Structure 1
């Protein structure tokens, strides 16, 4: 199964939006404040048990009109759709987990979970009476903040929301939602064995040569693991015994004070004894960087970008641990989800490309079921398959969504392949810009910025991107912005073409073989119609 979509109403920057997802990696791109982070937070409210479910006034969408606020109390609704995967085995725990969530029984099955934050019906009449005399939305929000927000409640329903079937903790806890926000302290979160993340990973992968050996039976695995545990126990006992022997004379001196203070009584005296468990040893382990020269340095001496990659690798390892049924039994997670906010924050462009490849490998190896990434990096978007990109953008103060991989259709496969091939870190800026000018070559691209500066209308200030398509290939890119089709990006665009004037001599003396067109200077164009036929660039005639 996979999360196939989310519908958000009145939550933060979203008044009402429906976003479709697909299996594997979903890369949410867009300019600043387009709603990418808020979408991840909406998912976290549903699936992350550590996220606070009780919201505040600031979490409501601020575009609600005074009429709607007077008509009824504002309400936040976040609804997530889950769909059967294409090759999913129905005998797995996935279907069992969402069996009470189903809204469609036929294959592919569909399930639904919906979060609501609302004012109870018993308070609705009082709310309408109080806000009826308000003269502005600001006044109403102040009334909600001071009198009603404390009365709001949150509920999470599964299946058809009209039935109001509450979610049970056992099923929602089967989802492993790991969220890495943009401001994260990875050094605090992972680099000591005292930390739960690293401790859990070590505990699972210790003796992994035996645990992963498919050539022996499960009983043999248990026997070999127990042998190693017994060896550790014997060795640790000897270690404790050695410490006790070295403490023997000092121990007598230490304990002599207990006699003087009266702590020894009834023929009993304090002494030292102890044992060491494997998990206690983990706390002394620390991640290091082992260089080729043999020198070792603490992991904290790395750059933030490198450490972020190590942290994500460990996090994925932990997700593998948490979803292992043999290791955790019925407590194992069924659906691991990784959400990453702005991975480019600490990664240079080359490492961003490697990062996307790394995530794809983990999806292919089934280490994680679904990944959500937010980014405004053109390097991330250029390294991502067109089908994996979801573009969030703002138009007339309303958040919209586009699916660049879906806009081409079956009869435009050639254009899709062309765009995928040439959507590099420069050209992919068209997916982020508010306005786009397409030009044929680098000369026009350079000159347009200069012309705009001379007109005192700098293009960067007005969020205009000039995209060089490398020839007369505008039509391939224009499919992304054809507002007549569903899923395209509704943006103002302009195409500037070269005149490319050409002429050829007219046939003489009945010669049927036409002469070839040859380039001419612009000032020669249409100057001698008796002697020449003229041609120019007509590639944009069919473009509307």
Structure 2
């Protein structure tokens, strides 16, 4: 697993360093403190090993471009960045250099852009420089080791853009691949006490929909609560991983009841334990913070709660221990408001 990330001049972030990372990492801080940028930086770095997002069926850099643009502008810019790899050099090409200003802070010929990712005693470094007006070159210090390569090939960004219909093909593959869909059913039965026997695609009002098969009938997944639907979405993604991976989860509390948050996190962390998946979770919710710490402790997963504060483009990170969290809770302090101290 990644235990350290260093980011210099990416998006609107001039510098940030995260240390002593664990299997479950919870990133907290005010709006514009850099939480989402850290997720995007890891996703960006992973694209240099695996360009294609198999979940969304789109190139990762194309998706990063779309996340910050209106739909009309995106249509004009899609597929504009091409990646070519040769030894320790990676070339990004575009007919419109302005697009690179989206990704790199104060984009100019004088800015040094660096990413360092550490896994145990192995550090993978990337330094960005200009080649000509249509290309930039990313120079790496060495080839990826097997562990980081596996993690980057199985890196997914889970945000509110994802929906169950986008995953129909993936769920179909899970059904054909040693019936991995049964794992989803097993977890549903454990968490929701749903008397389900399987997952199938059925016709409903003229369309094909995803349904749970019960003992005597079937029920469209859309009829279930939001917690169950979100659990199916997340578990489908995690079960689709071929081995270890990285799950970058952005604000799981959005449109979710506190009880549903607990269920979804419990659901996700069980799979993380089984498959060795590392989580990076951004949140503004004290429920997500507390539930994550409690569930991870119950499952024997190591956690790191990281408070982020941005000053003039530099993001300072502070790792909070379990004792810190307990003390703040004891005096009635909301963890999200720690910068007010």
Same fold (TM over 0.5): yes
Number of residue pairs matched? 267
Aligned residue in 2 for 1:151:
135
Deviations 1:26-57 (A, max 9, x none): 11111211111111111112224222364611
Aligned residue in 2 for 1:384:
292
**8 Å Cα contact 1:349/1:379 also seen in 2:** yes
Partner SS state of residue 260, structure 2: helix
Report the alpha carbon displacement of residue 151 of structure 1 after superposing the two structures with TM.
3.0
Aligned residue in 2 for 1:351:
260
Aligned residue in 1 for 2:335:
428
**8 Å Cα contact 2:128/2:138 also seen in 1:** yes
Report the alpha carbon displacement of residue 286 of structure 1 after superposing the two structures with TM.
5.3
Distance 2:289 2:279 in 1: 15
Moved more, 14-23 or 392-401: 392-401
Aligned residue in 1 for 2:211:
288
Query: Does 2:293 correspond to 1:371?
Result: no
User: TM-score w.r.t. structure 2 length?
Assistant: 0.66
Q: 1:309 to 1:45 in 2, by over 3 A?
A: same
Aligned residue in 2 for 1:402:
318
Partner SS state of residue 61, structure 1: coil
Aligned residue in 1 for 2:179:
206
Gaps (5+ residues) in structure 2? 53-59, 62-82, 84-91, 93-98, 183-199, 295-302
Map 1:253-292; keep pairs closer than 5 Å: 287-289=210-212
Distance 1:42 1:308 in 2: 25
Q: Which has the higher contact order (CA 8 A, sep 6+)?
A: 2
Q: 1:28 to 1:423 in 2, by over 3 A?
A: farther
Distance 1:111 1:359 in 2: 28
Aligned residue in 2 for 1:479:
none
Q: 1:169 to 1:73 in 2, by over 3 A?
A: farther
Runs of 4+ in 1 over 6 A off after TM superposition: 168-171, 281-285
Gaps (5+ residues) in structure 1? 84-109, 124-147, 210-280, 324-334, 407-414, 436-492, 494-544
Map 1:323-338; keep pairs closer than 5 Å: 323=243, 335-338=244-247
Aligned residue in 2 for 1:185:
162
User: TM-score w.r.t. structure 1 length?
Assistant: 0.43
Deviations 1:417-467 (A, max 9, x none): 74276488x722323xx42xxxxxxxxxxxxxxxxxxxxxxxxxxxxxxxx
Q: 1:361 to 1:422 in 2, by over 3 A?
A: farther
Query: Does 2:5 correspond to 1:6?
Result: yes
Which residue of the other structure, out of 100, 103, 114, is the alignment partner of 1:59?
A: 103
Aligned residue in 2 for 1:306:
228
Deviations 1:376-401 (A, max 9, x none): 11211122339521111223553211
Partner SS state of residue 114, structure 1: strand
Partner SS state of residue 346, structure 1: coil
Report the alpha carbon displacement of residue 185 of structure 1 after superposing the two structures with TM.
3.3
Larger Rg: 1
Structure (1 or 2) with the greater strand fraction: 2
